[in-house]
Each structure stands twice: as structure tokens, then as C-alpha cells.
Structure 1
Amino acid sequence: MDKTTKQNALNAHNWVGVFLSVLLFLVCLSGTVAVFHLEFERWEQPHIQEMDNVSPQVIEKAMDTFLAQNPEESHHLYVVFPTSDIPRLVVENDHKAYFADQEGNLLEEESVSFTQMLVDLHLYLNLPQSWGMILVSALGAIICTLVITGIIAHKRMSKDAFKLRRGGNGQQAQIDLHNRFGLWAAPFHLMIGITGAYFGMAGIILVTVATLNYNGDRDAVVNQIFTPDPVLAPQEGKPAIGKAFAQMETLAPEKSPIFLTVHEVGEPEQFIEIYAKAPNRMIYAEGYRFDTAGNFVGVAGYEFGEWGKQLVWAMYRLHFGDFAGMTSKWLYFVLGVMLTMLCVSGMEVWLSKKAHPPLASRLWYSVVWGSVSALALTAIADMFISGSLIAVFWCVMAVNTVLTVVFKRMTKPVWLLISGFSVLLLLTLYVVVHGEASLNVASLQLNIPMLAYVVWSVLRANTLLKREGMQNDINLQPSSPARETTA
């Protein structure tokens, strides 16, 4: 490509990245952490009994007890099996969810407020869902734009693929790091951008396809992707969920049941559907359908459906890395960190070219490291209050901004230290609140990485503070005679 095209791509890359840097960073950071949203659900209530499997009789008992205690009207009933990615038994309706033990006795109500806030931050930026998701999806398209313009603008891609220069004022190293992360993980970043854009644009795509191919009939398009409900004789009576679940060992012995749904509870069209994870397939699950009496009706047909249907049903696992256990989740976490650091390094390169304007630089670091502190303090608040966690998070972010404007010492290493000590405070209070349960697998699988972050943040902040001190000493040294003469 000619120089003009490359320069135009670079200009577009710079200005799009700068103007949307804060939103892109928050979406990328929350998405990176939300890769472990199922683990965070376990972490929030670590004392709940966990198990590998459950019998049909236990499921029946747990649901019967739940319905007796929660008789309110609901269109759906759900059972989350311990064979899912959360090794716990959960029974719920449209309003409440309760854990159950291995005997089918109810334990306590499910409470995942922090996890929900985190996921909502990633999906909607905590905005109203209707247009929050559209905004976040637009940011997914922006990520694709940044990846493509970054590749076009790269002048010596093949020569600089493994170059990482050190020394000087650090600006060149920052540029190299930004380019390497952008180049090496470009396929992942594009995939995240495309799948992220899909979630918010699905409604627009639905309307467009319906208008062009189905005379505006949206239901016809939906039925092409989501298999219509089975046509059954009028149903009545209590759904035989235990009988339906017992048949899965025969119907799909190679699959892991994830959860069960009773659709249209109490209505003539009531039916049971069990979703099971298909091995070696990227689709979210195959659906096995039963009538109210527990008789097998058929499968939804997602596993071997048309490629378009399979692609749509693979979007969730592709976006969140939920397809190869903890291996894929940790891979997505590392790649997500790279994408998040692209936002950080890109803004730092821009700030360095502007000679690091003090207030703008401090504000940026208050967003980057202050958001980590805000998440930690929000998780702490969740352990002691029952109010809105969204309000807590954004109030902390607002306080961070005020502190940054008022105090000139709120620089990058200071914010890094604050983030580390905030996470340390979270871990300390977590141990106080949960006691022995803070040492089980549900807790340690997240507490150990968080402790590692504390250690890294303190060490890194200490290095930056020393570097700042050395730079201040250099600036305070008197000019040499030769320099004064030249001046």
C-alpha cells in the first residue's frame, strides 16, 4: 500500500483509539475478568456444598421443596446440574434460585450480585440493556476497525514482528509492545470484536433478514435459528423432571447435562427441555425435549443443524472461551490481558507524543488502575451491604477522578499501589467473612491469582517510584558550565 493509505489508516487508528479509549478499556478489562464469571459465582458463596453428580430422585425432591416454599407464578422452572461448569445443584424459577445439597435439601438462596454487576459492565457498561448492548456491540466493531487499521498502518510488519527495543525514554519500547500485542493476537482480537458486535446487532440483523427474505416475518427467521417448541397434546400436571433426567444416560451417555428448563409452566403447551454439552462441538448445547410426563419427544437439532445455526449457537463459547475447561479460559484470560494492554499502551504512546500532559496522564491512570481498585471495593461492599453495586462502582470511579484532579501526586505508581492494596483488603476481608471456606477450591482458584496481582502491583509500583525519584534527581541537578554557556 502507498504511504498515503498507511498514513490515513494510522490517523484513523490514533483518533478512534483516543476518543473511545476509556470505554474500550472498561469493556476489555471487564471482559477479561468475566471470562471467570462462573468461577466468581462459586467464589461469592464458597461454603456451598459441591458435588460431581446427582440422582433423579434428589432433583425431584429439591424442586418439590422449592415449589412448596416459592408458590408464586412463574413461566419457567430451572435446574442447574452439578455436571455443568458449576459443580452445584441449583433449583430456580423466574424470580429466585436456591442451592440444594446431595440429599435434595435446600441450603440458601443464590446470591451473585458482584458477578452480575461485572457481567453487566462488560455487556452493557451498566447502562440500560436495550441500548447499552448496542453501544458495547459498536465497540466490538471498533475493535475490528482498530485491528485492521493498525495492520494497514504498520510499515515493516515482517521485519518488526519480534522486535522489542529497550532504553531511551521508554517510548519506543511502548510502541514496540503495542505493535507486538496487536500483531500476535490479531486473530483473537478480530474474533472477540466480531462475536461482541454480533450480540448487540442480532436484533438489527433479524429485522434486516426478515425484511429481505421473509416479507418482514421475524418469527420465521427465529424459527430457522432456534428450533420451534414441540407441538404436543394439551399438557397438565406436575412436570416429571426426575424421569426426564434419568433418560439422559440412555439418550446421550457421552454428553454432560448442563441445565433443565420447564417451559410454559402450568400451561397446556408445557414441556421439559434438558440442555447437554456436546463433546468436541463448539455449540453451547443440544436440547433434549420431553413432555410433562417425562416421555422423550425429540432433540432441538442444534448439534447437527445447518452451519448457520451451529455458528449462532457457538457465539457464546467463542466469545467467553468456555469450550475446553480451564485451559481455554486461561488462554482467553491471557489474550484478554493483551487486548486490554493494547488499550493502555496505545493511550500511553499518544500521551508520550504529547509530552505527557500531567492532568491527562493522571486521569488516564486513574481509569486504568483505579478501575481495578473500584472493582475490588465493589466486591467488598457486596459482602456488607445490599444496595446497588453499580452505584458503588461508579461512585468509586467518580471519587478517583476527583482525587486525581485535586492531588498532583496521584500518578501511575500511586494508582498502581492503591489498586494492589485494594485487592489485598478484599482478600483480607474475604478471609474474615468466609473463614475456613476461603481455603477451598471455590475460593483459592481466584484468591491465588488475586494475591499474585497484589505482589506484582506492589513490586511494579516500587520500580516506577524509584524511576520517578531518579528522574526528579536528574531534573534538580544544576546545569553544567558548558550548558549554561551554550544557553
Structure 2
Amino acid sequence: MDKSTKQSALHAHAWVGVFLSALLFLVCFSGTLAVFHQEFERWEQPGIPEMNTTDAATVEKAMNAFVEKHPEPTDHLFAVFPTSGIPRLVVENDTVAYFADSNGNLLETEQVPFTKMLVDLHLYLNLPHSWGMILVSALGALICTLIVTGIVAHKRISKDAFKLRRGENAQQYQIDLHNRFGLWAAPFHLIIGVTGTYFGMAGLILVVVAQLYHDGDRDAVVEKIFTPDPVLEQEVAQPQLQKAIAQMNTLAPQHPLLFLTVHEANTPQQFIEIYTQVPGKMIYSENYRFDTAGNYLGTAGYAQGHWGKQLVYAMYRLHFGNFAGIPGKVLYFVLGIMLTALCVTGMEIWLAKKAHPPVLTRAWYSVAWGSVSALALTALFGLFADVSLIMLFWVLMLVNLVLSSAFSQSSKSLWLIIAGSSVLLLVSVYTLYHGAAGFTPAALQLNLPLLAFAAWSVRKGTKTGSRQTPGGVPLVNQS
């Protein structure tokens, strides 16, 4: 490509990234953490008994106990199996959920406010869902734009593909790191951008396709992608979950059970749908359907459906890395950190070129590193206070921004130390609060990495602080 094209791509890349840097960072950072949303759910209630398997009789007993405790009308009933990725048995309706033990006895209610806040931050930026989904999806499209313009603007892709200069010029090292992360992980980042865009734009796509091919009939489009519900007329009765689950040993013996749903609960159209993971397929699940009496009706047909249907049904797993167990999640976490680092290094490169405007530089550090302390303190308050964690998080972010603007000493090193100290405080109080449960695998699987981050952050902040001016603005060679 000619020089003017590369220059135009570079300008587009820079200005899109700068103007939306804070939103892009929050979406990427929260999404990286949300890869472990199931682990965060376990972490929030570490004392729940865990199991690897359960049987049909236990599930039905737990559901019967739940319905007896909550007889209020509901559209759906759910049972989440221990093979779903969280080694716990959960029964719930549309509003409340309970854990159950290996004998089918109900335990405490499911309370995961921090996990819900974190996932909501990634999916909607904590905005009303209809608007938040559109905004986040637009940011997904902009991520794709940044990837393409970044590659186009790169002057020597093949020559510099593995160049990472770590000499005295730290700014050059940061530019190299930004370019290497952007190039090496571009396929993954495109997948994240495209799938993220899809979630918000699916409604618009639905309307367009309906107008073009089905005279505006949206239901006709939905039925081509998602298998319609079976048409049933039965006596209203208690769903025979045990009979339905027992048949899965014959119907799909190699498919781990994810969860089951009782649709149209307590109506003549009621039916049972069991969701199973399909080995060797990227689709979220294949769904097995049964009537109220537990008689097998057939599958939803996703595993053997048209490739386009399978692709749509694979979007969730592609976006969140929900495959290959913990190794897949670790891979997505590392690649997500690279995407988040692109947001951070891109903004810091721009700030360096503008000679680090003091107020803007401090404000950026309060967003990039202050968000860590805001999340840690939000989780900490969530242990004790029944408050809106969404509101609390944004209040803390606002306080960070005000403090960084008001005090000239609020440097990058200070925010790093605050981030590490906040995480250390969270883990310490968490362990004291939960007692022996704080040393279960459900707790340690996150607390140990959090402690490692706290140690790194404090060490990095201390080291960085020695290379900053008294006003908190980095020196020329500051990394």
C-alpha cells in the first residue's frame, strides 16, 4: 500500500483508540476477568459442598423441594448439573436459585452479586441492557477497525514481526510491545470483536433478513436458526425429571449434561429440555426434549444442523472461551490480557507523543489502574453490605478520577501500589470472613493468582515510582 494510505490508517487508528480508550479498556479488562465467571461464582460462596456427578433421583428430589418452597408462578424451572463447569447442583426458577447437596437437600440461596456486576460491566457497561448492548457491540466493531487499521498502518510487518527492543528507550519498547501484541493476537482479537458485535447487532440483522426474505416475519427467521418449541397439549402435572434424565445414558452417553429447563412451567405446553455439551463441536449444546411425562420428543438439531446454524449457536463459546476446560480459559485470559494491554499501551504511546499532559495522564492512570482497586473494593464491600455493586463501582471510579485530577502526586506508581494493596486487602478480609472455607479449592483458585498480582503490582509501582518526576509525570524513559 502507498504511503498516504498507511498514514490515513494510522490517523484513524490513533483517534479511534484515543477517544474511546476508557470504554475499550473497561470492556476488554472486564471481559478478560469474566472468562472466569464460573470460578468467580464459586469464589463468592466457597463453603458450598461440591461434587463431580449427580443422579436423576437427586435432581428430581432437589427440584421437588424447591417447588414446594417456591410455589409461586414462573415461566421456567432450571436445574444446573455439576458437569456444567461449576461442580455444584443448583435448582432455580426465573427469580431465585438454591444449591443442593449430594442427597438432594436444599442448602443456601445462590448469591453472586460481584460476578453479576462484573459480567454486566462487560456485556452492557452497566447501562440499561438495551442501550448497553448496542454500545458494547459498537465497541466490538471498533476493535475490528483498530485491528485492521493497525495492520494497514504498520510499515514493516514481516521485518518487525518478532522485534522487541528492550534497551534504554523504554518508549520504543512500549511501541514494539503494542505492535507485537496487536500482530500476534490479531486473529483472536478479530474473533472477539466480531462475536461481540454480533451479540448487539443480532436484533438488527434479524429485522433486515426478515424484511428481505420473509416479508417482515421475524419469527420465521428465528425458527430457521433456533428450533421452535414443540406444540403440546397435556394435562398440567409435575414434570418427570428423573425419567427424562435417566434416558440420557442411552440417548447421549458421551455428552456431559449442562443443565435442564422446564419451559412453560405448569401449563399444557410444558416440556423438559436437557442441554448437553457435544464433544468435537463448537456449538454451545445439543438439546434433548421431553414432554411432561418424560417421554422423548427429539433433539433441537443443532449438532447436525446447517453450518450457519451451528456458527450462530457457537458464538457464546467463541467469545468467552467456554471450551477445553481450564486450559481454554487460561488461553483466553492471556489473549485477553494482550488485548487489554493494547488499550493501555496505545493510550500511553499517544500521551508520550503529547509530552504527557499532566491532568490527562493522571486521569488515564486512574482509569487503567484505578479500575483494579475499584473492582477489588467493590468485591470487598459486597462481602458485608447489601448495596448495589454497580453503583458502588462507578462511585469508586468517579472518586478515583476526582482524586487523580485534584492531586498532582497521583502518579502511575501510586495507582499501581493502590491496586496491589486493594487486592491484598480483599484477599485478607475475604479469608478472615470465610474462615476455613477461604482455604477450599473454590477460594484458592482465585485468591492465589490475586496474591501474585498484588505482589507484582506493588513491586512494579515501587520500581516505577523511582523513575518519575515529583509531579507524577513519567520521565522520558519511563515504561
Residue 176 of structure 2: aligned partner: 176
Residue 271 of structure 1: aligned partner: 271
Residue 288 of structure 2: aligned partner: 288
Identity of aligned residues (%): 65
Rounded Cα–Cα distance in structure 1 between residues aligned with 2:36 and 2:85: 11
Rounded Cα–Cα distance in structure 1 between residues aligned with 2:464 and 2:233: 71
- Cα deviation for residue 321 of structure 1 reads 0.4
The 3-state SS of whatever aligns with 2:228 is coil
- Tell me the TM-score normalized by structure 2: 0.97
1:42 aligns with 2:79: no
The one-letter code sitting in structure 1 at the alignment partner of 2:266 is: G
Rounded Cα–Cα distance in structure 1 between residues aligned with 2:231 and 2:468: 71
1:131 aligns with 2:131: yes
Residue 413 of structure 1: aligned partner: 413
Greater alpha carbon shift after TM alignment, 463-472 vs 80-89: 463-472
The one-letter code sitting in structure 1 at the alignment partner of 2:114 is: F
1:84 aligns with 2:84: yes
Residue 344 of structure 2: aligned partner: 344
Residue 152 of structure 1: aligned partner: 152
- Cα deviation for residue 436 of structure 1 reads 0.9
The 3-state SS of whatever aligns with 1:467 is coil
The one-letter code sitting in structure 2 at the alignment partner of 1:424 is: L
- Cα deviation for residue 169 of structure 1 reads 4.3
> Is the 2:408–2:471 contact (alpha carbons within 8 Å) kept by the matching residues of 1?
no
Rounded Cα–Cα distance in structure 2 between residues aligned with 1:468 and 1:412: 9
- Cα deviation for residue 171 of structure 1 reads 1.3
The one-letter code sitting in structure 2 at the alignment partner of 1:49 is: P
> Is the 2:189–2:339 contact (alpha carbons within 8 Å) kept by the matching residues of 1?
yes
- Cα deviation for residue 167 of structure 1 reads 3.2
- Unaligned runs of at least 5 residues, structure 1: 476-487
What does the per-residue CA deviation read over 1:9-57, in whole Å, with 9 as the maximum and x for residues that have no partner? 0000000000000000000000000000011000000000100111111
Rounded Cα–Cα distance in structure 2 between residues aligned with 1:341 and 1:233: 55
Rounded Cα–Cα distance in structure 2 between residues aligned with 1:471 and 1:20: 26
- Cα deviation for residue 61 of structure 1 reads 1.1
Map residues 141-290 of structure 1 onto 2, 5 A cutoff: 141-290=141-290
Rounded Cα–Cα distance in structure 2 between residues aligned with 1:68 and 1:420: 47
The one-letter code sitting in structure 1 at the alignment partner of 2:47 is: H
What does the per-residue CA deviation read over 1:382-437, in whole Å, with 9 as the maximum and x for residues that have no partner? 10111100010000001001111111110000000000000000000110111111
Residue 321 of structure 1: aligned partner: 321
Residue 452 of structure 2: aligned partner: 452
The 3-state SS of whatever aligns with 1:111 is coil
- Cα deviation for residue 59 of structure 1 reads 1.0
- Cα deviation for residue 166 of structure 1 reads 2.7
Residue 22 of structure 2: aligned partner: 22
> Is the 2:409–2:470 contact (alpha carbons within 8 Å) kept by the matching residues of 1?
no
The one-letter code sitting in structure 1 at the alignment partner of 2:391 is: A
- Cα deviation for residue 327 of structure 1 reads 0.5
What does the per-residue CA deviation read over 1:79-127, in whole Å, with 9 as the maximum and x for residues that have no partner? 0011110010000001110000011110000011100000000000000
Residue 361 of structure 1: aligned partner: 361
The one-letter code sitting in structure 1 at the alignment partner of 2:193 is: G
Rounded Cα–Cα distance in structure 2 between residues aligned with 1:469 and 1:145: 36
What does the per-residue CA deviation read over 1:241-267, in whole Å, with 9 as the maximum and x for residues that have no partner? 111111111110000010000000111
- Cα deviation for residue 442 of structure 1 reads 0.6
Q: How many residues align?
A: 474
The 3-state SS of whatever aligns with 2:203 is helix
Residue 400 of structure 1: aligned partner: 400
The 3-state SS of whatever aligns with 2:176 is helix
> Is the 1:271–1:290 contact (alpha carbons within 8 Å) kept by the matching residues of 2?
yes
Residue 484 of structure 1: aligned partner: none
The 3-state SS of whatever aligns with 2:467 is helix
Greater alpha carbon shift after TM alignment, 168-177 vs 182-191: 168-177
Greater alpha carbon shift after TM alignment, 69-78 vs 164-173: 164-173
Rounded Cα–Cα distance in structure 1 between residues aligned with 2:103 and 2:210: 49
Rounded Cα–Cα distance in structure 2 between residues aligned with 1:310 and 1:258: 18
> Is the 1:77–1:262 contact (alpha carbons within 8 Å) kept by the matching residues of 2?
yes
What does the per-residue CA deviation read over 1:206-259, in whole Å, with 9 as the maximum and x for residues that have no partner? 000000011100000000111011123334210001111111111100000100
> Is the 2:363–2:405 contact (alpha carbons within 8 Å) kept by the matching residues of 1?
yes
The 3-state SS of whatever aligns with 2:84 is coil
1:70 aligns with 2:70: yes
Rounded Cα–Cα distance in structure 2 between residues aligned with 1:448 and 1:396: 25
1:115 aligns with 2:115: yes
> Is the 1:235–1:291 contact (alpha carbons within 8 Å) kept by the matching residues of 2?
no
The 3-state SS of whatever aligns with 2:159 is coil
- Cα deviation for residue 468 of structure 1 reads 2.4
The 3-state SS of whatever aligns with 1:107 is strand
Rounded Cα–Cα distance in structure 1 between residues aligned with 2:16 and 2:232: 53
The one-letter code sitting in structure 2 at the alignment partner of 1:158 is: S
The one-letter code sitting in structure 2 at the alignment partner of 1:77 is: L
The 3-state SS of whatever aligns with 1:468 is coil
The one-letter code sitting in structure 2 at the alignment partner of 1:14 is: A
1:461–1:216 distance in 2 versus 1, CA, 3 Å: same
1:155–1:426 distance in 2 versus 1, CA, 3 Å: same
> Is the 2:374–2:393 contact (alpha carbons within 8 Å) kept by the matching residues of 1?
yes
1:3 aligns with 2:14: no
The 3-state SS of whatever aligns with 2:257 is strand
- Cα deviation for residue 168 of structure 1 reads 3.9
- Cα deviation for residue 469 of structure 1 reads 6.7
Residue 436 of structure 1: aligned partner: 436
Rounded Cα–Cα distance in structure 2 between residues aligned with 1:349 and 1:61: 59
Rounded Cα–Cα distance in structure 2 between residues aligned with 1:37 and 1:470: 40
The one-letter code sitting in structure 1 at the alignment partner of 2:159 is: K
Greater alpha carbon shift after TM alignment, 103-112 vs 161-170: 161-170
> Is the 1:272–1:292 contact (alpha carbons within 8 Å) kept by the matching residues of 2?
yes
Rounded Cα–Cα distance in structure 2 between residues aligned with 1:443 and 1:214: 51
The one-letter code sitting in structure 2 at the alignment partner of 1:279 is: P
In the TM superposition, structure 1's runs of 4+ consecutive aligned residues that sit over 3 Å from their partners are: 469-472
